[in-house]
Structure 1
Amino acid sequence: MKLPVAILAVFASIAVTIDATVYFKEQFLDGDGWESRWVESKHKSDYGQWKLSAGKFYGDAEADKGIQTSQDARFYALSARFEPFSNEGKPLVVQFTIKHEQKIDCGGGYVKVFPSDLDQSNMHGDSQYYIMFGPDICGYSTKKVHVIFNYKGQNHLIKKDIKCKDDELTNLYTLILNPDQTYEVKINNEKVESGSLEDDWDMLPLKKIKDPEAKKPSDWDDRAKIDDPTDTKPEEWDKPETIPDPDAKKPSDWDVDMDGEWEPPMITNPEYKGEWSPKKIDNPDYKGAWVHPEIDNPEYSHDAAMYKFENIGVLGLDLWQVKSGTIFDNFLITDDVKEAEEFGKETWGATKGPEKKMKDEQEDMERKVREEEEKSKNKDAEGGDEEAEEEEEEDGEEEDGAEEDGEEVEEDAGTEEDSDVKEKDEL
């Protein structure tokens, strides 16, 4: 009996879910309960402190709560333990969300996956880890995603440059390491880089090396062009680069005894043709560029277990931040790529839209407040100008009044003088 396609799809989905193993998940949904699961390193006494926060803007006040760096210019060292496991024969997926709402200028946003024997109370920058993954930002030059694997005790950086997000919103970072020694890096559930461990890291010696016994033959001519042996320099070619100015004249007041012998200034020779060189022709003896032959590298040995880590057991945050405020959330370590993708949709995917809306509304409100403050400042400035004009007008009116009073006084004084003259005449 054949089952309907829809039922088969359901069975397949259930099978995938059953097969998926989640080794570690942390969403900080139980208030301060996270403090019992995470251990702060005591390696230094001045590590920065963490706090539970959804930040200044968010999509869900509770679901978006994560641990946030709270002190500027500090190292941070925090880790959580889980049941140890090996990723042999299956994918390893490391995923988390991060929000740099403080407009980070310099600081790490990556996680480290440690072996289970890590002493969490003494975790520090030199503690040996298996994987380091996540964004790192410092100025304009460093804005990249670190992907570092430890192989035989040595840390190896990826040779590719993967650009990280540098905005202030929450972003989802995913690293997938497959047992076929391939990898994939996703940001916000979209692939940004992929390849193989052997090609993109210098973990193994080169497969091929230049043959140390091979040397370029002494008669090997690798010049594609040569000088034409039949080409000769024209007789009239050699002209000086500069010549005395023929239009220059000795000044009339030139004194040989005082000024020395007069010489006309030099100018560029219009007939100067530069340095002559014969024309080029194809080299009849050209054999092409010599390629150093390669041989198999005797030190190379394929390792099909480069991807494998035997004792994964701790997830840590070991980083430095100049400006604090970064929020880490939604940690997941699993062996199922689909599980990680769905978890990303349920967490980051569900709140990214409302988070951006809230941020945009806050910025719009802040912009309006700034505009109102600017208008108020301009209005106060205009009011001050009007008051100054009114004061000037009042001062002008007072001066006009004083002038009028002076004229009246002068008129009265003139009348008194006339009266005195009349009195004298009568006498």
Structure 2
Amino acid sequence: MKLSALAKIAVFLHGVYGIAFEPYNVSSLSKSSFFEQFDYDSVQSSHWVPSRGEKSDGSKYLGEWAVEEPTMYPGFAGDRALVMKSEAAYYAISRRLDTPLKTAKSDVVLQFEVKFQDGITCGGAYVKLLTDASDQDHFSDRTPFEIMFGPDLCGSSNRVLFIVKTQVGSEVVESRIRTPPMARENRLSNLYTLVLRKNYDVEIRINGDVAKASNLFTPHFMVPPLSEPEYIEDAEATKPDDWDDRRFVEDETAHKPDNWDSDHGAMWIPNPDIEKPAGWNDDETQPEYIRDPEAEKPQDWDETEDGEWKAPLIRNPLCLYGCGHWEAPKIVNPNYKGAWVPPQIPNPNYQGEWTPPKMKNPAYTGKNEIDFSPVEALGIEVWSMQAGVSFDNIYLGHSVKEAQKIGNATFVPKSEAEYADYEKNKPKPKHEPAKPPRSFEDMLEDESVSQFSQFVEFLRLLVWTRYMSVKDFWAMFEADPVYTISSHPFKFAFYCAVFLIVFTFVFGAINIVAFMVLKKDTPAAPEKKEKEAEKEKIKELSEEEVLEIIRGTGASRGQTAPRRRN
């Protein structure tokens, strides 16, 4: 669906002058086609009838409908749409066709625009092709329909529904696409187109692009399938008792080797490299310890008080190197293979995997076709948590070309105008994205940055890269120390050496600072304090008081004077 020259001009004029909406000329459409532009003043003045009925579970359709211009990113001034006005409500509204549309053995094309003006968290925006419009006032989920199509979103579920309702005997079956395409959940108008051709080929288009294509009767396309296979498996069949589905069997002609148990059957074997000691006594009757024959009972031994006297045990001289049965210590058998089993060979009687036989399907009709009834009305019966969901430019007919022509004339220029409005008035983010930090190469190219600043930035980046490298290495070491050390031994040794050097310097600096602080706060020794107090006291005494103190010690001038020797 290409944007025509007129559409580009319309978009330009809308951006400059706010061009008004002009209704699409429906005279070019065939008489059987239906096209709704919602060119009304209100719902009451339109052909759409809101439902006053109830759902099958008793819930009421309380959702309010309105015909109004969009409030979010409008396309053209005066372009009205059918809008849902209530939050968290069920909606139901229908529109009777002027002429019922025949769908049997003819192409059917359904196309409409959907716009989630307030966003969407949980809700549907699909249209039903109703086969009974006799009671529009009580239109509900019980009203018969044959095709339902449109977006459906709720939480993590996002899909475009396409449901075909068929009658199988007395049972009504709803078949839907096994893997539906995803719907668009933006706040702009999106065009959904369903093309169902008379050979039952299906196309689902979104904004003019094919999102899903297949055939209604293609296996695994619809669930449950719309056609029955000609043959089915016999559910009552059972596998015969003599059915041989063994792919391999044991070779009955194979024989176990004579040396298997001794050479390969034991996990542990005697160590052949160890020999029996030369002085080993093989007599198994000899005890390892005997009573000392040279020991005598003490003279002061009282058997009434001390009990029966027995000579102490000593090592049997005949068993100094061991006695009894000798066995070499066990080691792991390097030739161990386990218990012998016959080898496997292909089963000559293999019959393959058993599957139940096929039988004629009693439900098979021999024809892949659906007898669609004529469409009498369009219905919208949905649930929505958000208000502001709008429907516009609904087309129903037999021609894909008509749908494309309408889309090119209405949706394409509108979507371009809405997108231009969105780009101009889209909400700004709460936090503007921060600019990436300048790299060292950027600073080198910037002539306004001095060489000193470049050198400082170089050092900073160098330290930062080294820090990140050490951090990454530490994370690897925590995850798997053995692998990290074995993979990067030199790096590990280097980091250990750097850590020891840094730790030594830091620890030494801390000790020096601690010593200086503690030395400053440590009180002086008592003797030193007394000497300092005496010095201060002597300074305060006069010369006469000092002489008196000296005389009081018993020393005199005559005693201290030197004597002459004769």
Please say if 1:323 is aligned against 2:386.
yes
Please say if 1:154 is aligned against 2:172.
yes
What amino acid sits opposite 1:122 in the alignment?
Answer: H
Count of aligned pairs between the two proteins = 322
Given the alignment, which residue of 210, 223, 228 partners 2:246?
223
When the two chains are superposed, the root-mean-square deviation of aligned CA atoms in Å is 3.4
For the residues of structure 2 that align with 1:73 and 1:231, how far apart are their CA atoms? 79
Please say if 1:194 is aligned against 2:213.
yes
Deviations 1:197-231 (A, max 9, x none): 23334234332211357543433332334567769
User: 2:145 aligns to what SS in structure 1?
Assistant: coil
Assess if the C-alpha contact under 8 Å between 1:84 and 1:116 holds in 2: no
Give runs of aligned pairs for residues 341-360 of structure 1, distance below 5 A.
Answer: 341-360=404-423
For the residues of structure 2 that align with 1:116 and 1:97, how far apart are their CA atoms? 24
Given the alignment, which residue of 27, 30, 37 partners 2:47?
37
User: 1:209 aligns to what SS in structure 2?
Assistant: strand
Residues 362 and 293 of structure 1: CA distance in aligned 2, closer, same or farther (over 3 Å) = same
Residues 214-223 or 336-345, more deviating: 214-223
Assess if the C-alpha contact under 8 Å between 2:43 and 2:65 holds in 1: no
Counterpart position of 1:176: 195
Please say if 1:27 is aligned against 2:3.
no
For the residues of structure 1 that align with 2:345 and 2:30, how far apart are their CA atoms? 69
Deviations 1:109-148 (A, max 9, x none): 11111114341100112222121111111111x2111111
Please say if 1:203 is aligned against 2:226.
yes
User: 2:423 aligns to what SS in structure 1?
Assistant: helix
Counterpart position of 1:85: 101
Consecutive unaligned residues of structure 2, counting only runs of 5 or more, are 1-26, 55-59, 270-331, 433-566
For the residues of structure 2 that align with 1:297 and 1:319, how far apart are their CA atoms? 38
Assess if the C-alpha contact under 8 Å between 1:77 and 1:316 holds in 2: yes
For the residues of structure 2 that align with 1:297 and 1:70, how far apart are their CA atoms? 51
For the residues of structure 1 that align with 2:393 and 2:337, how far apart are their CA atoms? 71
Assess if the C-alpha contact under 8 Å between 1:55 and 1:327 holds in 2: no
Residues 187-196 or 313-322, more deviating: 187-196
Residues 275 and 156 of structure 1: CA distance in aligned 2, closer, same or farther (over 3 Å) = farther
Give runs of aligned pairs for residues 103-182 of structure 1, distance below 5 A.
Answer: 103-140=119-156, 142-152=157-167, 154-168=172-186, 169-182=188-201
Counterpart position of 1:297: 361
For the residues of structure 2 that align with 1:296 and 1:87, how far apart are their CA atoms? 32
Deviations 1:5-58 (A, max 9, x none): xxxxxxxxxxxx978444321112333267421101011455111222313113
Per the normalisation by structure 1, the TM-score is 0.66
User: 1:301 aligns to what SS in structure 2?
Assistant: coil
Given the alignment, which residue of 366, 371, 375 partners 2:428?
366
Deviations 1:52-84 (A, max 9, x none): 231311332333x31222211100011111122
Given the alignment, which residue of 75, 78, 84 partners 2:90?
75
User: 1:126 aligns to what SS in structure 2?
Assistant: coil
For the residues of structure 1 that align with 2:236 and 2:214, how far apart are their CA atoms? 34
What amino acid sits opposite 2:353 in the alignment?
Answer: A
Consecutive unaligned residues of structure 1, counting only runs of 5 or more, are 1-16, 240-269, 373-427
Per the normalisation by structure 2, the TM-score is 0.51
For the residues of structure 1 that align with 2:268 and 2:400, how far apart are their CA atoms? 76
Counterpart position of 1:376: none
User: 2:217 aligns to what SS in structure 1?
Assistant: helix
Assess if the C-alpha contact under 8 Å between 2:119 and 2:185 holds in 1: yes
Q: CA deviation at 1:301?
A: 0.5
For the residues of structure 1 that align with 2:340 and 2:406, how far apart are their CA atoms? 71
Residues 322 and 225 of structure 1: CA distance in aligned 2, closer, same or farther (over 3 Å) = farther
Greater C-alpha Rg? 2
Q: CA deviation at 1:300?
A: 1.0
What amino acid sits opposite 2:372 in the alignment?
Answer: K
Residues 62 and 217 of structure 1: CA distance in aligned 2, closer, same or farther (over 3 Å) = same
What amino acid sits opposite 2:174 in the alignment?
Answer: H
User: 1:31 aligns to what SS in structure 2?
Assistant: coil
User: 1:171 aligns to what SS in structure 2?
Assistant: strand
What amino acid sits opposite 2:242 in the alignment?
Answer: D
For the residues of structure 1 that align with 2:122 and 2:255, how far apart are their CA atoms? 63
Counterpart position of 2:302: none
Q: Work out which structure has the larger RCO, using CA pairs closer than 8 Å and 6 or more positions apart in sequence.
A: 1
Deviations 1:141-198 (A, max 9, x none): x211111112126242224211222321221111122222322221112222222223
For the residues of structure 1 that align with 2:406 and 2:29, how far apart are their CA atoms? 16
Counterpart position of 2:329: none
Assess if the C-alpha contact under 8 Å between 1:54 and 1:62 holds in 2: no
Residues 355 and 216 of structure 1: CA distance in aligned 2, closer, same or farther (over 3 Å) = same
